A and B are shown apart, each in its own frame.
Chain A
Amino acid sequence: MLQYIARRILAMIPTLFVISFLTFFIIELPAGDYISNQIAALKSTGESSSVAKLEFLRKEFALDRPFFERYLIWVGVWPGPHGFDGLIQGNWGWSFEFDKPVSDVVGPTLPLTVLLNFATILFVYIVSFPIGIYSATRQYSWGDYGFTLLGYFGLAVPNFLLGLILLYLFNRWFGLSVGGLMAPEYIDQPWSLNKGLSILAHMIVPTIVIGTSGTAAMIRRLRANLLDELHKQYVTTGRAKGLSERKLLTKYPLRMALNPFIADIGSLIPSMVSGSVIVSVVLNLPTVGPVLLSALQSQDQFLSGFILLFVAVLTLFGMLVSDLLLAVLDPRIRLGGRASS
């Protein structure tokens, strides 16, 4: 098992390299870069005085080098103007738009993004699990139809609309401040118990909004999986042994139906980040979503590149977690090699 984990983690390294290259390639696809665009803008207005400074910056950030060199310098395996100084060395790059290091720009938003993602995934699983089981075991009952209808609503209603409605209701009923991830008075304040509670209270609406469609999809999937399993022969075998229905359900078909449920952890993460951009803008959430959007618009390449890479790392991590859980849960995956030998 330990060997399996080690193998999986080792296999992540080449994957990360490929992802980083693709990310860099896609970001560099539009013509020019942030500074050359600036230079062009300055030249068109006739202000050529600061052009020299910008030219210096281009050299400083190695933007004048060829594509592959730029990529390798960014990663940190090729000497740049300041020697080996890239992602591997812990230098996440410079954000031109904010005029400060990328780490300072995304620093405060990253933990909140991870926290919100984690809460949303938890929400998706906690809600969809019992409902999915209920729907499958009582197929075509009123409850099943009701949840199905609710699920389609969840899929069909635009997230931002749902967000606005919930914000309004929470404001009316509980007096929660509109937008943001904490009440205005705690922003930029040191951590305190009340600030933590405020964050928790403010996370409810975004979690529900971002998680709804994922929950709805997950309910449908679990229901379909479980329905498939319920009619398999081994369930009849269990019943023929005299197991009670409840014990039978939890021991046999439910465990089989869990596989796809767990395999989804990895793929949920990127969809949450990219799917929550509009919601984050509407609800004014300090997550990386809006930052990524503006960075892409202004060709702030190191910033957008870093965020994309960060999401990729999160995804890989999610995949690793789901693979490990699958191996724990399913002996066929764990012992597959042994069986064929």
Chain B
Amino acid sequence: MNVLSIDGLTVDFKTAEGQVRAVDDVSFTVPQNKTVALVGESGSGKTVISQTIMGLLPESAHVTSGSVVLDDPRGSEPPVDITKLERKGPQMRHLRGNQIAIIFQEPMTSLSPLHTIGDQIGEAALLHRNVGTAEARELTREMLRLVQFPDPAQSLDAYPFELSGGLRQRAMIAMAMICRPALLIADEPTTALDVTIQAEILKLIKDVQSELEMSVLMITHDFGVVANMADEVVVIYHGRIMEKGTAQQLFNDPQHAYLKALLKAVPSFHMDKSERLAPIRPIEVHAEDLKKSRIECTVEPGKPLVEVKNATKRFNLRKAGLFGTAPKTLTALDTINLTIRRGECLGLVGESGSGKTTAAKAILRAINLNEGQVFYDRGEGLTDIAELSGGDLMDYRRRVQLIFQDPFSSLNPRMTVNDILTEPLQIHGIGTPEDQAERARALMNLVGLDARFLRRYPHSFSGGQRQRIGIARALALNPEFLLCDEPTSALDVSVQAQILNLLQDLKRDLNLTYLFVSHNLAVVDYIADRIAVMCRGRVVEIGETREIVSNPLHPYTKALLSAVPEPDLETPLDFAALGESRASDPSEWPEPFRVVDGVEPTLVEFEKDHFVCAPGVEAQSALRGTAA
């Protein structure tokens, strides 16, 4: 029996340029107690479909044809065609939150910061279930227990800003579940979360689904999530359905060219080191023009280019008050040691708040360290970058450049691409205006963009194109070392593959060295030669990529790896193993890995070139030393 049947749905938007078709003749069904994944890139129309089901389409959109029939299997109410209902009318309101519920991508913004979560969760019960305030509170408590809140009774009166992202998403799920809906729409529910939290939330959705016998429409672009969650898959592109079927069919025998291409663009742990991703729209790199003017890095390949020694950075969270409230500090970096070798790509992995971006900023000298140093070899041996000044500092700035995470906010919307690309040259006073214009054209060519686009402004480019402009800007000064701060996390998978390949080609052709910061282990596995894993401001494991991925030694690395959903039906996430240990709490790690405040996180070489943070080992050997 189908809870939701969409038939020939077509949605048009009225815009200044006329009608735009966002959804075109889409038909699929969501069977009872099953999970259907709706997969597509941004702009494919998947969110418009979810809005249509919820009756939340914006004013400018209207359903041109087709039907969306909701049939509650509990049979209390007759099937109803949602497209026929008035969007803000009482009938639609009766369905919303009651029989259909939704969870959104951003747990940070989807809850009101001014109301307690108990208030916000219980609200739906008050609206739909004919209960009083006390009863609603009781129901809410029950729901919080169901979504495994650590302390349900206490949490009722907590405000969203007091909770972590994972807990907020749990609260959102509790809110959606409280009226026991027949259909849950999950709109990218884990995209904004860390990988370990993502695994927990996915497990939770599965558990709740079986407990409440509910159907789930999972909207996502992540094939790892699809492989682990979906019974059936619907692939959508430009508002049209490309292919649909069971997960088995689609993963084992994809038919449509688009789906095949999409699956090839996803990095996975099973890939060979020599294997390359196949982006849907590959870019050809033309590095000849740039190579001519390049001054080669004189450091020998394999020798240390950057060395971070005992770097510690503390941030003051709150200023000391007028009447003596003590200042609070957060240790973002706790005595970290890193070596980046010339010509390699070092992947820096960790969850949000692990200090990976702080480490990158410290290397860039964008922040000053409290303790420790960063050394850089400018061809005359390793020198402390904190001591650089004047011309030497400018020289360092030319050697080290940064690629940002967000391609939208990292380009000034009021500057043309030409201005953006020539600004670094002007700042450093390199070349005549003609040289600079020539250089800008060469840079555009390098990243596979047409030089005619130079006069355009950033808003006329897509996310992937903007990221290429960002890369071109970073290369304007002929740097030898690039810091890539999550350069693909804001991009679709197909574009991600394109950018990753571009970065690989550039590294090969221009002999670059990378520090690649990311929370996505599969991406780092694809691009990095060595991986450093960070947790709570400490480096916990560092070694060759193959070695780390196939033979992780530190409990945190193990937890991180086991939480990555693979786009492969053969290797499902081990949900049962999750949630047993709080792997991101250093004081909970077993000996010899346990780290408590004040203990220096020493790296110990467990195997050749494979270091693990294990302060216990040293203590043990010291004990042994004294015993002997």
A and B interact: yes
In the complex formed, the residue of A with least CB distance to B89 is A244
Interface size class of B (residues with CB under 8 A): 35 or more
Known: A7-B323, A242-B94, A243-B123. Is A232-B109 also a contact (CB below 8 A)? yes
- Do A340 and B328 contact each other (CB < 8 Å), given the known contacts A242-B124, A242-B127, A243-B93? yes
Instruction: Determine if B56 and A330 form an interchain contact, defined as CB atoms under 8 angstroms apart.
Output: no
Query: In whole angstroms, how far apart are the Cα atoms of A241 and B101 in the complex?
Result: 7
Are B114 and A330 in contact (CB-based, < 8 A)? Answer: yes
Tell me if B96 is interfacial: C-beta within 8 Å of chain A.
Answer: yes
B56 touches A234 (CB 8 A): no
Asked, given contacts A252-B112, A332-B161, A341-B328, whether A240 binds B54 with beta carbons under 8 Å apart, the answer is: yes
**CB–CB B159/A11 < 8 A:** no
A241 to chain B, nearest CB (A): 4
Chain A positions 13-56 with a Cβ under 8 Å from a chain B Cβ: none
Q: When A241-B124, A340-B328 are in contact, do A234 and B93 touch as well, CB less than 8 Å? A: no
Distance from A238 Cβ to chain B, minimum over Cβ atoms (Å): 7
The answer to whether A238 touches B112, judged by C-beta atoms less than 8 angstroms apart, is yes
B297 to chain A minimum Cβ distance, whole angstroms, is: 43
Q: Which residues of B contact A331 (CB under 8 A)?
A: 113-114, 116, 159, 161
What total count of A-B pairs have CB within 8 Å? Answer: 88
> Chain B nearest CB: distance from A314 CB in Å?
22
The tally of residues in A whose CB lies under 8 Å from a CB in B reads 30
In whole angstroms, what is the CA distance A245 to B55 when docked? 13
Residues of A near B410 (CB, < 8 A) are: none
A240/B102 in contact, CB under 8 A: yes
Nearest opposing residue in chain B for A234, CB measure: B112
- A339: B residues at CB distance < 8 A: 159, 161-162
Which residues in B have their C-beta under 8 angstroms from that of A255? 112, 114
With A243-B93, A329-B114 as contacts: A233 and B159 at CB distance below 8 Å: no
Which partner residue on chain B sits nearest A256 by CB separation? B114
A242 → chain B, closest Cβ, in Å? 4
Is A271 engaged at the interface, CB distance under 8 Å to the other chain? no
Interface: A239 (CB within 8 A): yes
Q: Does B250 contact A (CB under 8 A)?
A: no
Assess the B318–A340 pair: CB atoms within 8 A. yes
Task: Decide yes or no whether B97 CB sits under 8 A from chain A.
Answer: yes
Q: For A10, what are the chain B residues with a Cβ–Cβ distance below 8 Å?
A: 323
- Check B111 for interface membership: any CB of A closer than 8 A: yes
Interface centre among A11, A251, A341 (most CB of B within 10 A): A251
Residue of A nearest to B106 (CB): A233
- Cβ contact of B317, chosen from A329, A335, A340, cutoff 8 A: A340
Complex interface: chain B residues within 8 A of A238 (CB) = 112, 123
A236 in the interface (beta carbon within 8 A)? yes
Question: Could you say which residues of chain A place their CB within 8 Å of the CB of B112?
Answer: 234, 237-238, 252, 255-256
Complex: A225 Cα to B98 Cα, angstroms: 31
Is there a chain A Cβ closer than 8 Å to B88's Cβ?
Answer: yes
Cα distance, A238 to B123, chains bound together (Å): 9
Q: Quick check: is A337 within 8 A (CB to CB) of the other chain?
A: yes
Partner pick for A240 among B94, B96, B106, B317, CB 8 A cutoff: B96
Q: How far is the CA of A241 from the CA of B128 in the complex (A)?
A: 9
In the assembled complex, B175 has its CB within 8 A of some CB on chain A: yes
Of residues 282 to 341 in A, which have CB atoms within 8 Å of B's CB atoms? 329-332, 335, 337-341
With contacts A234-B112, A329-B114, A331-B113 taken as known, whether A242 is within 8 angstroms of B88 at the C-beta atoms is no
Q: Which of A242, A252, A332, A338 contacts B93 (CB 8 A)?
A: A242
Interface 1/0s, chain B 312-354, versus A by CB < 8 A? 0000011000110100100000000000000000000000000
Does B95 lie at the interface of the complex (its beta carbon under 8 Å from any beta carbon of A)? yes
Once A338-B162, A340-B318 are accepted as A-B contacts, the answer to whether A242 and B113 lie under 8 Å apart by CB is: no
CA distance A256 to B160 in the complex (A): 14
Contact, CB under 8 Å: A234 / B110: yes
Specify which chain A residues have a CB less than 8 angstroms from the CB of B159 in the assembled complex: 331-332, 335, 339
CA distance A184 to B427 in the complex (A): 73
Complex Cα–Cα for A13 and B310 (A): 46
List of A residues within 8 angstroms of B161 by Cβ? 331-332, 339
Task: Enumerate chain B residues within 8 angstroms of A335, measured Cβ to Cβ.
Answer: 159, 162
Residue of A nearest to B111 (CB): A234
How far is A331 from B120 in the complex, measured between Cα atoms in Å?
A: 14
Give the residues in chain B near A239, CB-CB below 8 Å.
56, 96
**Bound CA span A330–B111, Å:** 14
Cα A238 to Cα B93 in complex, Å, equals 11
A251 → chain B closest CB, angstroms:
8
Q: Please tell me if B104 contacts chain A, counting CB pairs below 8 Å.
A: yes
The distance from the CB of B236 to the nearest CB of chain A, in whole angstroms, is 21
Q: Which of B149-178 contact A (CB under 8 A)?
A: 159, 161-162, 172, 175
Question: How far apart are the CA atoms of A241 and B119 in the complex, in Å?
Answer: 13
Residues on B with beta carbons closer than 8 Å to the beta carbon of A241: 96-97, 101, 123-124, 127, 175
Q: A244 to B90, alpha carbons, bound, how many Å?
A: 8
What is the bound-complex CA distance between A232 and B123, given in angstroms?
Answer: 19
**Do A237 and B110 form a contact, CB below 8 Å, given A242-B97, A339-B162, A341-B328?**
yes
For chain B, residues 510 to 524, give those with C-beta under 8 angstroms from any C-beta of chain A: none
Interface centre among A256, A332, A338 (most CB of B within 10 A): A332
Cα distance A11–B323 when bound, in Å? Answer: 8
Residue from the list B95, B172, B317 in contact with A242, Cβ < 8 A: B95
Q: How far is the CA of A256 from the CA of B124 in the complex (A)?
A: 21
- Bound complex: CA A337 to CA B120 (Å): 23
In the complex, what distance in Å separates the CA atom of A233 from the CA atom of B110? 5
- For residue B172, which residue of chain A has the nearest CB? A237
- Chain A residue nearest to B90 (CB atoms) is A244
Q: How would residues 240 to 271 of chain A score, 1 for a CB under 8 Å from any chain B CB and 0 otherwise?
A: 11111100000110011000000000000000
A11, A236, A338: which contacts B104 (Cβ < 8 A)?
A: A236
B109 near A234: Cβ-Cβ < 8 Å? yes
Cα separation A252 to B109 with both chains bound (whole Å)? 13
Query: Complex Cα distance A339/B160, Å?
Result: 10
Bound Cα distance A7, B324 (Å)? 11
Q: Which residue of B lies closest to A241 (CB)?
A: B97
Q: Which residues of B contact A338 (CB under 8 A)?
A: 162
Q: How far is the CA of A251 from the CA of B162 in the complex (A)?
A: 20
Q: Which of A11, A234, A236 neighbours the largest number of chain B CB atoms within 10 Å of its CB?
A: A234
B477 CB to closest chain A CB (Å) equals 39
Q: Are B111 and A237 in contact, with the CB atoms below 8 A?
A: yes
Contact check, A243 vs B113: say whether CB atoms are below 8 A apart.
no
Q: Which of B124-139 contact A (CB under 8 A)?
A: 124, 127-128
User: Once bound together, how far apart are the Cα atoms of A231 and B557, in whole Å?
Assistant: 40
Contact across chains for A11 and B322 when beta carbons are under 8 A apart: yes
Interface residues of A in 218-234 (CB under 8 A from B): 232-234
Give Cα A118 to B98, complex, Å. 47
In the bound assembly, the distance between CA atoms of A245 and B123 in angstroms comes to: 14
Chain A positions within 8 Å of B120 at CB level: 237
**How many Å lie between the Cα of A308 and that of B93 in the bound state?**
56
* Bound complex: CA A40 to CA B289 (Å): 83
- Give chain B residues whose Cβ lies under 8 Å from the Cβ of A233: 104, 106, 109-110
**In the complex, A10 Cα to B322 Cα: how many Å?**
10
Q: State the CA gap A329–B113 with chains docked (Å).
A: 11
**Closest partner residue, chain A, to B99 (CB atom):** A242
CB distance from B88 to the nearest CB of A (A): 6
Encoded as 1 (CB less than 8 Å from any A CB) or 0, chain B from 38 to 56 comes to 0000000000000000101
Chain B residues 63-111 with CB under 8 Å of chain A are 88, 93-98, 101-102, 104, 106, 109-111
CB distance from B370 to the nearest CB of A (A): 20
Q: Which residue of B lies closest to A340 (CB)?
A: B317
- B113 contacts A244, CB within 8 Å? no
Beyond contacts A232-B109, A241-B96: 19 other A-B pairs, Cβ-Cβ < 8 A, are: A233-B106, A234-B109, A239-B56, A239-B96, A240-B54, A240-B102, A242-B96, A242-B127, A255-B114, A256-B114, A331-B114, A331-B159, A331-B161, A332-B113, A332-B159, A335-B162, A337-B325, A339-B161, A341-B328
6 A-B pairs, CB-CB below 8 angstroms?
Answer: A11-B323, A237-B175, A242-B96, A243-B127, A244-B93, A340-B318
| Residue ranges of A at the interface with B (Cβ–Cβ < 8 Å) | 7, 10-11, 232-234, 236-245, 251-252, 255-256, 329-332, 335, 337-341
Closest 4 CB pairs of A and B: A241-B97, A242-B97, A242-B96, A233-B109
